[in-house]
A and B are shown apart, each in its own frame.
Chain A
Amino acid sequence: MHYYVQLLGDICVAVTQTSGPLVGPEFIELTDFDPSLCGQRHVGGGVFEPVPVVLPRHISRGAFYDRFGPAKWDILADQTPSVVAVVADASVRTYIDLDNPQLPAGLAIIAAAGHDIDADEIIGAPVRPEERP
C-alpha cells in the first residue's frame, strides 16, 4: 500500500491510500494514512501546519432583520419608498453578506428615515452559528 498527500498549491486537498504508486509533483508520500492532514499547508520537508479557515460573514435574511433590534417592526412596516427599496433588496438575496460594500449605504437610508439602528453593530457584530444561512 502507498499513502499520499495530494497538494493544490501548498494545501493538502486529499489524502489517499492507493494500491499502486502515484507520480507527480503534487504528491507527497506518507508512511501512514493520515486524513487529519486534509486542509493543512505543506511548509516543506513533509511537514504540515493547520490553516485557519476564514468563514464568510454571511447571515440569513431573518437574522439580518433581527439585527435591527426593537426597530425591526417599524422598519419592515415603513412605506417610505427608499426604505421599501432597501428591505426589498435584502429580501431577494439568498443571504446577507456583511462585507458587501453597499450595505452601509442601505443602513444609512434606514437611519435617515428616522429609525434608531446601530449600523456599526449590525455590520460589525460577530456572526453567531444560528445566524448562518
Chain B
Amino acid sequence: MSNLLQFTGGIKSIQRGAITIAASSPQQTATISAVTLAKAELRFLGCSNSAGEAGAIARIGLTNATTITATRGNLGGETITSWELTEYY
C-alpha cells in the first residue's frame, strides 16, 4: 500500500509554523525541512497584528527548498502569520 501511495502522489510530509514580523520590519523568514518545490503546496492559515492594523497583513511564499518568507507593506505593529506546507511524493 505504501508503494502505491508513492506512485500516486500521496502525502510525503506536512510542516506548519508561525512567523513573526517585528514592528517596523518588512520581512521575516522561517527555515523548514527541505522540500521539492514542484511537489510542495504552501497554504496561508491566517494573520494577526498587534496594533490591530488591518493593512499590516503579510503574504507568504516558498522562497526556496528550505525557506518560507513572510512579507508585508504596512510596517505597523507586530504581525504573526500561520502557514502549512504539504509535500507530495
A interface vs B, CB < 8 Å?
2, 6, 8, 11-22, 24, 27, 33, 35, 38-39, 53-56, 58, 129, 132-133
**B residues at A contact (CB < 8 Å):** 12-24, 28-34, 50-53, 76-78, 80, 82, 87
- CA–CA, A13 to B22, complex, Å? 8
Partner of A56, one of B14, B22, B30, B76: B76
Complex alpha-carbon distance, A79 and B31, angstroms: 57
Residues of A within 8 A of B77 (CB): 53, 55
| Given A24-B31, A53-B77, A55-B51, A17 contacting B17 (CB threshold 8 A) | yes
B24 CB, min distance to chain A CBs, angstroms: 7
- The number of A-B residue pairs with CB atoms under 8 Å apart is 84
Whether the Cβ atoms of B19 and A14 lie closer than 8 Å is yes
Shortest distance from the beta carbon of B81 to any chain A beta carbon, whole Å = 9
Which residue of chain B is the closest to A27 with respect to CB atoms? B31
With A35-B17, A55-B51 known to touch, is A22 a contact of B33 (CB < 8 Å)? yes
Cβ contact within 8 Å between A13 and B15 = no
Query: Known: A35-B80, A53-B78, A58-B76. Is A13-B28 also a contact (CB below 8 A)?
Result: yes
Tell me which of A13, A35, A55 contacts B82 (CB under 8 A).
A35
